[in-house]
Amino acid sequence: MRELRVAESAGFCFGVQRSVEMAETLLETGPCLSLGQLIHNEDAVKALCAKGMRVIDSPAEVRPGDRVLIRAHGVAERIYDQLISAGAEITDATCPKVKAIHTIVRRAREEGSFVIVIGMRRHPEVEAICGWCGEHAVFENRRELQEWLDNHPIFWEKSIRVVVQTTQTRSNFNECCELIKKRCTNAKISDTICLATFTRQEEAERLASDCDAMVVIGGRHSANSVHLAQICREHCDSVQFIERTDELDLEALRGKAVVGLTAGASTPAWIIKEVRNNMSDEIKDEIKVEESAAEKEMSFDEMLEETLKPIYNGDKVKGVVVAITGTEISVDLGTKQTGVIPAEEFTEDGTKLEDAVKVGDPIEAVVVRVNDVEGVVSLSKKRLDAAKVWTEVEAAVEDGTVMEGVVTEDNKGGVVVSVKGVRVFVPASQTDLPREAPMSDLLHKTVRLKITEVNKARKRVVGSIRRVAQAERRERTEAIWNEIEVGKKYHGVVKSLTSYGAFVDIGGIDGMVHVSELSWGRIHQPSEVVSVGDEIDVYVINFDREKRKISLGYKDPEGNPWTQFTNRYKVGDVASVTVVKLMPFGAFAEVLPGVDGLIHISQIANRRIGKPEDVLTVGDVVDAKITAIDEEKHKISLSIRALSAPAPVAAPVEEPAAEEDEPADDALVYEVSADGTASGVAPEAEPEE
């Protein structure tokens, strides 16, 4: 063995350390009872018993006035009641992480939810958890869980709460959760694996993968120690699981280049030190203890002391992300406490948590609150980032840098923009909103702004969205005028409507679409085609660069009704037409939407009629023959008469001389206006008497 690598996380976790310290404090004032082994380490328990602690197995052994210490694993709710009834003075050393599970399952019981516990069925921690549940079941692995779910489909849709023993392996928990998510539609899963356990397991996995042999120190009944040995065996062929120094087989380590050493959460530091020193003494100068560059020649005792350094509110700390849940990010600070950052600090701008942070990421934060009772340090990355941003914000006032942020609040006076965690107030006049628009229109939107005022002492920052917007509009306007040409297409937004057309913003410039350019059909108001806020595609008809005026078209040239008509009909074809207007000289009829033809009065019937309404009514649909098409002037002549049978021959009568000037049978050819309406008077038609 040439090199020994000692796991940094080896030894007492916070919960175990806390319970031992509570026991020692209690023993300073006299003997006490421990309900069950305080921790799963016989040597540590013996040392405490030598100071006056006695281990009991049941509340029945308690006498009035006895001082009873509840171990780190916790006890069932009924045990508390029995101890109180027995008159005991209770000192509760239950690990805060385990206490949190008791709270979760008790609430589940009150809500009527079924509880699934993932863990070792006979372990005292699991037994205690079950003592706070209502209906529940315990499963040690995926196989047991799958068999139970297969046989109990009634639970697939039930309200279920899932918790896990704090010392379980991550892989076992993930396998069980994957199955639950697939089968159970109403399950809430709480990741209650202790951060210290998770960290220790990850470190053991890395060590075992890199070492030729591993030594794991821990109690035979310690769940976390058993799991550590199990993990090491999955990645290393040579693993020794021992409780104390005299069980170490040094011969088995000879010839191994690199050996790793780790220990369970209930292993005292002095036992770890004994094993380490024993290995060092045995191989003498052949062993080299690997230590990080930061630790240099730091001894094990010094490393242990480092983890006990106090942390105070306002301290800047560095750590590594070791666990992520839906509500918080857990950080290993290298101390006895666990750092916790709220998940919303990473997601308040809409970013997904999995995209913002990952397990193993280094992270810096500021200490917000230290809870030594629960071993938790509340951290804020946002506050630290905000402090760093102040320098950028102050510089932005001088150099005019454009910054970006999200609008988080609104009021009558303006809006508040979060710029990398710094609150920037933007007055209403600087929001670039129309005067009548509510400030709430900007809520949750990402905006660009310039910082106009900074008062760090008062933590006041003022900005302007309008300045940036105006500058950007000027840039877009110049870009458009530099490249504009007739026929160029733009995607724009309808900004306003008038009786004669619609004004469209094509990217900083407003152009006008005349009402005649909005539709090929007849419309009276632009609002019949578009509304304010509509996004439409337009093209340039003409423009005046000096007067800064642009005329736009909206009608699709390919939708020209006249083109559709000439592609479909020719002279001599019969069309089904709709009468749209009656005049003294004839009737106008729609051949296609946007295309009208004239049926001269002489072509309405095969007999003489006094006026068109004697035969036709607006809205009538009739068949008519196309008798003439003027391609150049877009004129159409129609005839109903041409499709009628000849009128019966009447008895000869003497006709007035004036009737010799009766109009010819040829249909009228008339003018079509720009909006598609046909009009005109037949030059050969005489006014009716």
Cα dihedral 312, 314, 320, 323, rounded to 10, equals 90
Question: Which two tokens mark 67?
Answer: 């001082």
Average pLDDT over residues 523-541: 88
Give the confidence band of 145 by pLDDT, cuts at 50, 70, 90: very high
The 10 Å Cβ neighbour count of residue 2 is 13
So where are the chain's domains?
3-7+213-306, 14-95, 97-189, 309-383, 400-469, 484-559, 561-647+660-679
Thinking of the domain 561-647+660-679, which architecture would CATH place it in?
Beta Barrel (2.40)
Fold exhibited by the domain 3-7+213-306:
Cobalt-precorrin-4 Transmethylase; domain 1 (3.40.1010)
Question: Which two tokens mark 144?
Answer: 């047991």
Fold exhibited by the domain 309-383:
OB fold (Dihydrolipoamide Acetyltransferase, E2P) (2.40.50)
Give the confidence band of 277 by pLDDT, cuts at 50, 70, 90: confident
> Count of H helices and E strands in the chain?
16, 35
Per the model's pLDDT, the better-predicted residue between 607 and 689 turns out to be 607
Per the model's pLDDT, the better-predicted residue between 680 and 531 turns out to be 531
- Per the CB < 8 A criterion, the answer to whether 560 and 520 are in contact is yes
User: What single letter denotes the amino acid at residue 186?
Assistant: N
Give the H/E segment covering residue 590: strand 586-592
Instruction: Kindly name the residue from 125, 127, 203, 243 that is annotated as catalytic.
Output: 125
Question: CA angle at residue 57 from 51 to 62, to 5 degrees?
Answer: 75
pLDDT in tens, 467-498: 998 888 888 888 888 888 888 888 989 989 99
How far is Cα 541 from Cα 534, in angstroms, rounded to an integer?
20
Question: Which two tokens mark 256?
Answer: 């191994």
Q: DSSP secondary-structure letter at 147?
A: H
How far is Cα 67 from Cα 23, in angstroms, rounded to an integer?
11
Average pLDDT over residues 94-99: 87
**Catalytic status, residue 147:** no
How buried is 531 (Cβ within 10 angstroms: 0-12 exposed, 13-18 middle, 19+ buried)? Answer: exposed
Write down the pLDDT at residue 196: 73
pLDDT in tens, 585-636: 999 999 988 888 999 999 999 888 889 999 999 999 999 999 999 888 888 9
- Per the CB < 8 A criterion, the answer to whether 63 and 90 are in contact is no
Fold equal for 309-383 and 561-647+660-679: yes
Given a cut of 50, whether residue 225 has pLDDT beyond it is yes
Thinking of the domain 14-95, which architecture would CATH place it in?
3-Layer(aba) Sandwich (3.40)
Question: Which two tokens mark 314?
Answer: 């306002």
Domain 97-189 in CATH 3.40.109.10? The answer is no
Given a cut of 70, whether residue 127 has pLDDT beyond it is yes
CATH class of 484-559: mainly beta
Domain 400-469, CATH: 2.40.50.140
